[in-house]
Amino acid sequence: MQSKGILMVVSGFAGVGKGTVIKELLSTQSQYTLSVSATTRAPRPGEVDGVNYFFRTREEFEQMIHENGLIEHAEYVGNYYGTPKAYVEEQLNLGKNVILEIEIQGAMNIKKQFPEAVLIFILPPDAKTLKERLVGRGTETMEVIEKRMNRACQEAEGIEEYDYVVVNDEVPQCAMRIHEIIEAEKAKAKKNLSLIESIRNGLKNL
Amino acid sequence: MQSKGILMVVSGFAGVGKGTVIKELLSTQSQYTLSVSATTRAPRPGEVDGVNYFFRTREEFEQMIHENGLIEHAEYVGNYYGTPKAYVEEQLNLGKNVILEIEIQGAMNIKKQFPEAVLIFILPPDAKTLKERLVGRGTETMEVIEKRMNRACQEAEGIEEYDYVVVNDEVPQCAMRIHEIIEAEKAKAKKNLSLIESIRNGLKNL
């Protein structure tokens, strides 16, 4: 039975390792694909257009908004971020589960438009671990770290709005938990009405 | 984190193999336990009191009802069936997931009283397979088989009321799907409010 894929939002604090968890999921399970966001922020060293983001000018981005080419967009610290519609719809129709790695504001926009989307928030095992991970990268100043921690505090206010939380203690286990959640979502009775109907008709016609 | 276990209802047509699937789940995962129902029907050959059912007289059963000792009960083809309360509550508090293998009428009673209970309906791969399994046992007359098929038709009307459906194509896979559903249920944000709160407080106090 080739059913439509599931639209998934994966969020989490900076430093929680969500990129690594998503990579693990993509490399171990073929039925997932990652949606590439569009943004007006400048590429960071090593970031590639069309891979990490679609890098667009403010004018180009606003054009996409006007043409209804984004399923959600949000402005964050002076830059636009958004999810191009075409790729997501195409992949869902192919039966792929499409992962959106977006912030809480975008996540809430998705939930409003697509109530059947599955929102997952990745938690650190504890707050101390999160701070250690942020500091442990060794690439950021204390100022940047403090800024991220403050942002984490703000994001933490919205976690209950997500459908599920998973703890990233070990990457493979965390990826597996996300996979279990999606498998369970696919088993929901309301997502299997045609299977139920065919069993019912089959029983009547025996 | 020792959290409360999940109350699970597992139903399915006669012959779908739900007993075998539940046995597989119990033997491979230690965090599940099966609730033993009470009934007024006579024991069948080989059935043991306290293992397959608690066999009770009609008077004893009605006494249990009056003493509020059952979390649900239903009358089916002239006999009472019910779920004794004490064992279920004790096991849930120990963190065990308690499986109730009950009929649709009992399942709906459970859902009304315990909206957080997880209702799972086991489906055959198709109606033809179900009939083959029923006939294949070689122990029943065609009359009994027809009766069961008619009952299956009635039960099939209520499948959408369940939370999840799983197909029993292969027993280990079917048991694993049920386990995934329960793991996903445990990951629901609303079941992890204290974890979320502790992360939030930890972030604020760093």
Residue type, B85: K
Phi-psi label, residue A10: left if phi above 0, alpha if psi -120 to 50, beta otherwise: beta
Q: In whole angstroms, what is the distance from residue B200 CA to residue A172 CA?
A: 25
Beta-carbon separation of A189 and B157 below 8 A: no
CATH number at residue A107: 3.40.50.300
Q: Which two tokens stand for residue A205?
A: 């016609």
Total of domains in chain B: 1
Per-residue pLDDT of chain A (206 residues; tens, 9 = 90+): 458 999 999 999 888 899 999 999 999 999 999 999 999 999 999 999 998 899 999 999 999 999 999 999 988 778 999 999 999 999 999 999 999 999 888 899 999 989 999 999 999 998 888 878 777 666 778 887 888 788 888 888 899 999 999 999 999 999 999 999 999 999 999 999 999 998 888 887 77
Q: Is residue B58 situated within a structural domain?
A: yes
**Residue B121 forms contact with A (CB below 8 Å):** yes
Q: How far from each other are the two terminal CA atoms of chain A, in whole angstroms? A: 22
Q: Is residue A187 situated within a structural domain?
A: yes
**Residue A169 forms contact with B (CB below 8 Å):** no
Local confidence band at B158 (pLDDT 50, 70, 90 cut-offs)? very high
Residue B31 sits in which domain range? 7-204
Q: In whole angstroms, what is the distance from residue A75 CA to residue A91 CA?
A: 26
Residue B1 pLDDT exceeds 60 = no
**Residue A66 forms contact with B (CB below 8 Å):** no
A70 beta partners: A84
* Residue of A8, A134, A165, A188 to mutate, testing the B interface (most B Cβ within 10 Å of its Cβ): A165
**What ipTM describes this predicted complex?**
0.86
Q: Is residue A110 situated within a structural domain?
A: yes
Q: Is residue B144 situated within a structural domain?
A: yes
pTM metric for this prediction: 0.88
Show contacts of B137-140: CB within 8 Å, 24+ apart: B137/B15
Q: In whole angstroms, what is the distance from residue A136 CA to residue A113 CA?
A: 38
User: Do β-strands A79-84 and A70-76 pair in parallel, antiparallel, or remain unpaired?
Assistant: antiparallel
- In angstroms, the Cα distances linking A199 to B17, B106, B128, B198 are 16, 22, 9, 46
Q: Is residue B2 situated within a structural domain?
A: no
Q: How far A156 CA sits from the closest chain B CA (Å)?
A: 6
Beta-carbon separation of A127 and B157 below 8 A: no
CA dihedral (A107, A5, B116, B198) positive or negative: negative
Beta-carbon separation of B165 and A130 below 8 A: no
Q: Is residue A72 situated within a structural domain?
A: no
B132-149 mean pLDDT: 76
Q: Is residue A186 situated within a structural domain?
A: yes
